[in-house]
Structure 1
Amino acid sequence: MKPITFSREETKAMVGEIQEYFRDELDQDIGSLPAEMLMRFFSEKMGAYFYNRGLYDAQDLIGKRMDSLRDDVFQLEQPTRHLR
């Protein structure tokens, strides 16, 4: 699996979110470098968990759509004397 990477703009946005969280929830200031290091740690160590959760959600959605599509196709069936 290729590593999860983010653009510079995405990284800056996430660093800002981390800094805001520390300020609002922990009443602490955290610099850009420590915030980026924390973001990269979570990306490397925890990112796969979030990524996989997204895949599972997508698989579930696709499965539900396929079931719905299968039902729609069966509704198109015309009556005949032949039984399946």
Structure 2
Amino acid sequence: MKPKFELTKEKKAGMVELLKRYFLEERDEEIGDLAAMLMLEFIIEEIAPVFYNLGVEDSHAYIGDKLDDMFGIMK
């Protein structure tokens, strides 16, 4: 099951503006709100879970290392 990312309207609007600015500055293309929103939805559904899972894996490894360190202080 993919994690569901819930964003506020304000955050989504900000991300839409970032996508529009990216296309304008990097590709010299103007895209509208709908195109940017569709791209954002694609990123949220298909790409973001990959990075989310990497973060979970990194967190798991970090916590595991710290738990292992705790055994080192046993007397």
- Return the TM-score normalized by structure 1: 0.74
> What is the 5 A alignment of 1:39-58?
39-58=40-59
* Amino acid paired to 1:9: E
Aligned-partner Cα distance in 1 for 2:26–2:54: 26
Q: Which runs of 5+ in 1 are unaligned?
A: 78-84
Aligned-partner Cα distance in 2 for 1:13–1:63: 36
Say which SS state the counterpart of residue 7 (structure 2) adopts. Answer: coil
Aligned-partner Cα distance in 2 for 1:37–1:16: 13
Bigger-Rg structure (1/2): 1
> What is the 5 A alignment of 1:16-35?
16-35=17-36
Q: Which runs of 5+ in 2 are unaligned?
A: none
- Any runs of at least 4 consecutive aligned residues in structure 1 with deviations exceeding 6 A, and if so which? none
**RCO comparison, higher one (Cα < 8 Å, 6+):** 2
- Return the TM-score normalized by structure 2: 0.81
- How large is the Cα RMSD of the aligned pairs? 1.6
Partner of 2:39: 38
Say which SS state the counterpart of residue 6 (structure 1) adopts. Answer: coil
Partner of 1:70: 71
Count the aligned residue pairs: 74
Say which SS state the counterpart of residue 5 (structure 1) adopts. Answer: coil
After superposition, the C-alpha distances for 1:54-79 in whole angstroms (9 at most, x for unaligned) are 111111111122122222x23xx1xx
